[in-house]
Structure 1
Amino acid sequence: MKYVKAIIFGCLAALAAAQMTKESILLAMEDSSKTMAKLDSKFTLIVQGGAVNVILGNREETGDMDFLATNYKPMDPSAYGEVLDKLKRGWLWAYTQAKKRQQPIPSNWVDTSISIFFNRKEALFKKFTSEAEAQATILSTAGMDKDGTGIKFIAAPWDWQFVSKMVQHEKDYDLDDATFYLQQWLKKVETSSISYDRIAQWFSAWSFTVPSDLAALCKEINRKGGAQLITGNF
């Protein structure tokens, strides 16, 4: 009996610790999108964080997918519950399919907490969605029907993702992620560097307080990037 319990607890621990690779997260996205297409529903989800890194080849794995749907209503956040309830059917189906493929993903593989930041911030939300759509970094459209139903996954604005990681920087890889996002932004605007003063402006533009240790963080970004990505006297 003890042996059986050990096996059960071992399996549960493995599932709890499951991480998503590029293959598993793209399959999960596709399964979720197919489910929404069958329900004749259409969504565009703006994804940020580890899932973006993994899909674009900057990181091997991630524990979840942070996203915000473009039809979120910042002035009526309670209405977002209906959107999440519909999407939940896709998330659960993807989780079930992953287990069948013996490529388990976390049972709570999506994170919707980003919506809290935009609560009652309509102008900021419009900035977020419009910049993400203009940036047009498509992560996946697999599983969508020809009529456009299903889910299109796009990356959040690079400057937003950079600022978010710089404010957070709690985990060892946060500044690595921030460096990657800055490199993507520089690539998008076709330049090799950005001024320290403009970096500081990004924080206020996204309603964040400029970190007191921003200068030290920028120096670390340059070190990790192996180049003077951020220029100026700091």
Structure 2
Amino acid sequence: MNAPVNDRQVEVLRWIADGCPSGQWAEGENAPKISAAALKSRGLATVTGHGKTWTATITDTGKYYLEHGAYPPGAELAATIVPANRVRRSTMPGLDLSEGASATLAEAKVLIKRLQSEGPVIFADPDESIRARYRRILHACRTHQLVPAGQELRFTGRSSGDIVIMLSTGSPADATKWDRIRTTTRKVTTNLVELRSALESTSILQAVTEGVRPRAIEVVLGLVEELQPHGLRLG
């Protein structure tokens, strides 16, 4: 996914390109592995193993990024949509443009069909470009009257948090379900930057002594990294 890469991630990418030499990071520091996981999700590196068997390798896309400071021309933005009852990775089906519809309209049709067959979907912690994309898709759903009769389209994550989209009949059960989804997405974050900020600035780790707290934060963020290959997230 061609999401933005911050300075820290570029530094880790260079380290991976150099063969992950020892001595660059403090012993036991998990931050490079967390950044490597982010680089993997962008297609810039591959990561295998855990603990002592952990290894990372730069990809051709990663080499291009280091050389040019940008993704290769034509790199596509991969959309990751997951069923609400289980966070896992999947990709949008191929778009049907046979009717000459615009790409956005075609994506809107695919989204409605998926909501009908699978129920609510989640797009985990997307960047702003994807939020804007789904705002356009949802607008197309309404403008072209794609929402099935007797149902309404519910959407949260317009500016932050997970994007959650749901078709609702307006029944009490659907209303309760949506209230639970909306409350959770507003109060819980799985974004690594926001998670680190919360650990550093709130009272979550108040019971941990100040001298040990930085290590405790790295342990928690390290757990985030270990969960990702299993399709799980910590928030």
TM-score range, shorter chain: under 0.3
TM-score w.r.t. the length of structure 1 is 0.22
Larger radius of gyration: 2
Q: Tell me which of the two structures has the higher relative contact order, counting C-alpha pairs closer than 8 angstroms and 6 or more residues apart.
A: 1
